[in-house]
Amino acid sequence: MNTPATIGKYRIQGVLGQGGMGVVYQAFDPAIHRQVAIKTITKSALDPADLQYALTRFRHEARAVGRLTHPRIAAIYDYGEDEDIAYIVMELVNGKSLFHHIQDRAQFSLKEIGEMVRQLLDGLGYAHAQGVVHRDVKPSNILINDDGRIKISDFGIARIDSSTLTQVGEIMGSPGYMSPEQFLGTEIDARSDIYSAGVIAYELLTGRRPFTGNNADVMRQVLNERAVNPSEYNTRLSVQLDWAAQKALAKKREDRFQAAKDFSDAFVKGVEASLRMASREADPGAMADAPTQRIDPSLIRAARLLAGAPRPRSEKPTAPEPAPVPGAPEPAPAPSATATETPARKARLLFVDDEERILTALRSIFRLNYHVFTATNGREALDFVNKFQPHVIVSDQRMPGMTGVELLRQVKETAPATVRLLLTGYSDLAAIVGSINEGEVFRFVSKPWDNREIRKTIAEAVAVAGELEEAAVTGSAPPARISAGILVVDRAEEVFRSAKELFGAVCPVNHARDLEAAFAALEAQETALIVADIERGREDVIAAFKLLKQERPEILAIVLTEASDSELVIELINQAQIFRFVNKPVNLRLLKQHAQAALERYQTFRQAPQLARGYKVAAARMADDLAQKIAERVRSLKSWLRPVIR
């Protein structure tokens, strides 16, 4: 091979690599004094029938990457052609491709893997935002600088918004990293790149790709088989990493991460969880859960009132809790639930999820401190609840046959003293709102979870549920007339008039058009419930809700909002402990139902004021002047309900 002295204005300094279509050179740009790489196509090396297509792809790469400026994408500076070659002048990356590192059996730490995947997804996310889908994400197209920074290269078959380079039905990509839709030749979008990035992440974590064999074998597995969890090959990995990898590799695009950043965030959290797990293994004393919390007896008495019903004892037997006999099989507590431990006097936890890997992970976290049971669907879970009344139930939302929200709603009716938690992602808005309105969940546990946080949450739930079992209690309905009122905060009067008609004979119903009027009403009248129309642009009312729950947790709130405003709903759930949500236009039957439940809850607070402490939220960071003024006004409000335990 004869190396040219120059290509265009660029002085050739050496050869970086060579392929079937051409050569990649290291060169020097004399105009601006920088090192570059020049990728070439030798026209004579191609059959005339293939040449035009190859040149079209080459020009396409230059056009696709030429519009991208990002530190994780190898930049393209120039494009040119002459009679012998076509060439792209691009950023020179001082290092090797990830493919070469893998071939050399390089050993990466978990922290390094997390950083590489994060950088890869950062670059892909930027490209996707610019309308560019790579479509051939694989280790040989990921360059790693000597300082560890990565650069994505070779956008030769990328799709850009205006591209007609390929048509539906044409298969493009590298088989080991191709998504199901690429094998099928159907429409490709950013989620195909996310799948390919998932294959790379899996390979880095385990040292092998999820699907292997010849091209036909790989295609069959990609289309029909589920990958083995990475943690089965690498025991250092957390269930969060298993979850992130499996979600990225989902067969259906709608089941994958919908954006590169979502995958990145989940993967980084999974790496952090794995590192914490490794740290605990290095320090065995750190593995044990903290002892179950003990709560102020006065708060327990109030919690019993809130539960509204005793835990039945004579009609429904509790789960068997004999001391284990070495070598003897454990008795099956229920036909469709499995127990992991049977020590005496441990709280009973029931985890419900249709994925065995999730149940396995939860067992491993809690089996030392609790009596753990599992069920794989809602019907199994209800059978177990009806027979054995677990102290705490934690259910996934998305399950075949019965959703988590429906399961928890039925558990609320059949076992009201069982503390209920929903396992879900924050993106599942309908599940979150439904669980609040129908299931009265104690907390949300997000996937992927933090082991330390989920231990704390379960301990808090068990502490309440365990004490509730000790006494039979009954709830009390509100009297025909109560002095505490309902305050409707809304610029319009329609909801106020409706509330007045529904509850005017039961309690005072007041109206405030703005925040100042609302504070005046709260000062003048004992208020059990605030019904507020909150939309974007009402930062004053949103801030007031958050601050009110810090200082006056006994006041309940129903929010009227647009169903599509998921970010606002989630913000209010996390920071203001909203009692119920009602979508607009307002369904008066639902409003009446939720308001009645709120008034009953407030009557419970009257009997046991200390219970309101459970509705107090942590102080939110609001440093602006408006928030400070609202905070001062909230702190000055009279407390009608005394004593409230702080």
For 199-254, how does the pLDDT look when each residue is reduced to its tens digit (9 = 90+)?
A: 999 999 999 999 998 888 999 999 999 999 998 899 888 888 888 999 999 999 99
pLDDT of 169 strictly over 70: no
The tens digit of pLDDT for each residue in 425-435 reads 655 555 566 55
φ, ψ of residue 73 to 5 degrees: the values are: -125, 125
Buried-exposed string 150-160: b where 16+ CB fall within 10 A, e elsewhere: bbbbbbbbbbb
Cβ neighbourhood burial of 247 (10 Å; 0-12, 13-18, 19+): buried
- Least confident interval from 106-115, 370-379, 558-567: 558-567
Pair of tokens at residue 612: 């309101």
pLDDT at 570 over 50: yes
Residue 518 one-letter amino acid = A
Closest CA to 193 of 252, 101, 242, 260: 260
Number of Cβ atoms within 10 Å of the Cβ of 108:
16
pLDDT of amino acid 586: 82
pLDDT above 70 for 642: no
CA torsion angle 125 129 133 134 (round to 10): -40
Long-range contacts of 181-186 (CB under 8 A, 24+ apart): 181/253, 182/135, 183/219, 183/222, 183/223, 184/223
Residue position matching structure tokens 């919690």: 303
Q: Do 209 and 203 touch, CB atoms closer than 8 A? A: yes
Q: How far apart are CA 594 and CA 364, in angstroms?
A: 39
In angstroms, the CA 89 to CA 39 distance is: 7
Contact 199, 212 (CB under 8 A): no
Strands across the sheet with 348-352, in order? 338-339, 371-375, 348-352, 392-396, 419-424, 443-446
The larger pLDDT score, comparing residue 364 to residue 122, is at 122
How many angstroms separate the CA atoms of 586 and 584, rounded?
5
The pLDDT, as a whole number, for residue 313 is 41
pLDDT for the residue numbered 381: 93
Closest CA to 385 of 340, 417, 342, 432: 417
Asked if residue 404 has pLDDT above 90, the reply is no
521-527 CB contacts, 8 Å cutoff, 24+ apart: 521/487, 522/487, 522/555, 522/637, 523/637, 523/638, 525/485, 525/487, 526/483, 526/484, 526/485, 526/640, 526/641, 527/484, 527/485, 527/486, 527/487, 527/555, 527/640
Return the residue matching tokens 């965030």.
265
> How far does the chain reach from its first CA to its final CA, in angstroms?
82
State the average pLDDT over residues 548-563.
80
User: At 350, is the pLDDT very low, low, confident or very high (cuts 50, 70, 90)?
Assistant: very high
In percent, the amount of the chain with pLDDT more than 70 equals 75
**Is 474 within 8 Å of 309 (Cβ atoms)?**
yes
The CA distance from 98 to 377, in Å, is 42
| Residue type for position 441 | V
| Mean predicted lDDT score pLDDT of the chain | 78
Cα–Cα distance measured from residue 481 to residue 496, given in angstroms and rounded to the nearest whole number: 19
pLDDT higher than 50, residue 310: no
DSSP category for residue 470: T
Are the CB atoms for 425 and 373 separated by under 8 Å?
Answer: no
Highest mean pLDDT among 43-57, 267-281, 316-330, 513-527: 513-527
Count, residues in the chain: 646
pLDDT level of residue 295 (50, 70, 90 thresholds): very low
249-258 pLDDT tens trace = 999 999 999 9
In degrees, rounded to 5, the angle at the alpha carbon of residue 353 between the alpha carbons of residues 349 and 359 is 65
Q: Nearest Cα to 491, choosing from 525, 541, 527, 526?
A: 541
Query: Do 136 and 157 contact (CB within 8 A), yes or no?
Result: yes
In this prediction, residue 144 carries a pLDDT of 92
pLDDT level of residue 511 (50, 70, 90 thresholds):
very high
User: Alpha carbon of 21 to those of 14, 41, 158: distances in Å?
Assistant: 18, 5, 18
Query: Residue 446: CA atoms inside 13 Å, Cβ hemisphere, count?
Result: 14
Q: Which domains, from first to last, does the chain contain?
A: 6-91 (3.30.200.20), 95-282 (1.10.510.10), 297-468 (3.40.50.2300), 485-635 (3.40.50.2300)
Identified catalytic residue from 122, 136, 154, 490 = 136
pLDDT for res 294: 40
DSSP secondary structure string for all residues of 211-234: S-SSHHHHHHHHHH-PPPPHHHH-
136 catalytic, yes or no?
yes
Instruction: Note the pLDDT of residue 222.
Output: 93
Residue type, 85: I
CB 466 within 8 A of CB 488: no
Flag the least confident range among 99-108, 272-281, 591-600: 272-281
pLDDT at 338: 53
* H/E element, 451: helix 451-468
Structure tokens at 302: 């109030």
- Report the DSSP beta bridge partners of residue 560: 533, 582
Least confident of 385-394, 510-519, 602-611: 602-611
Please answer whether residues 72 and 81 qualify as being in contact, where contact means their C-beta atoms are separated by less than 8 angstroms: no
DSSP conformation class of 567 = H
- Report whether pLDDT(507) > 90: yes
* Residue 646 banded pLDDT, cuts 50, 70, 90: very low
Would the pLDDT of 598 be above 60? yes
Q: What is the helix, strand, coil percentage profile of the chain, to 5? A: 45, 15, 40
Q: What is the mean pLDDT of residues 556-579?
A: 70
Mean pLDDT confidence for 184-197:
92
Q: Look at residue 584 and tell me whether its pLDDT is greater than 70.
A: yes
pLDDT at 148 over 60: yes
Does pLDDT of 520 surpass 70? Answer: yes
Residue pair 353/397 in contact (Cβ under 8 Å)? The answer is no
What pLDDT, on a 0 to 100 scale, did the predictor assign at position 364? 87
Question: 360 pLDDT exceeds 90?
Answer: no
Q: For 131-140, 205-214, 243-252, 472-481, which range has the lowest pLDDT when averaged over its residues?
A: 472-481
* Burial class of residue 419, CB neighbours in 10 A (0-12, 13-18, 19+): buried
pLDDT digit string, tens, across residues 531-546: 988 765 566 777 787 7
| Cα–Cα dist 555/493, whole Å | 22
Q: How far, in Å, CA of 502 to CA of 517, rounded?
A: 22
Tokens of 638: 């009279």
Place of tokens 């082991």: 451
